[in-house]
Amino acid sequence: MSSLHNIIRLRRAGHKHHPIFQIVLTLKYKRNRGNFFKKLGFLNLTSKEHSLFIDLHFLGSSLNKGAIVNSPVKKHISKFIR
């Protein structure tokens, strides 16, 4: 798995008015709902208490191999980590 074109992005799941986002590692040129290599965590913005879960160990190793983090993922991570 070459990390030259890998990106960490959000993948929509859930229902129409209650979306839950999965944080996945996928190829840069694939669609959001396409195949992905690894699921890193999830983001739930519909509950009263917004929740975020990320596998930080795999996130760090992916970043060391050259994966790029998508801007919406950066935005939501920065809201939870202060």
Domains of the chain, start order = 3-80 (3.30.1320.10)
Q: Radius of gyration (Cα) for the chain, nearest Å?
A: 13
Write out the DSSP string of 35-76.
Answer: --SEEEEEEE-SSSS-EEEE-HHHHHHHHHTT-EE-HHHHHH
Q: Which tens digit of pLDDT belongs to each residue from 15-73?
A: 888 889 989 888 877 666 667 788 889 999 887 778 889 888 998 898 998 889 989 88
The closest alpha carbon to 3, from 46, 82, 79, 58, belongs to 58
Specify the pTM.
0.81
Do the Cβ atoms of 42 and 53 come closer than 8 Å? yes
Q: Please report the pLDDT score of residue 1 as a whole number.
A: 52
CA distance 19 to 1: 29
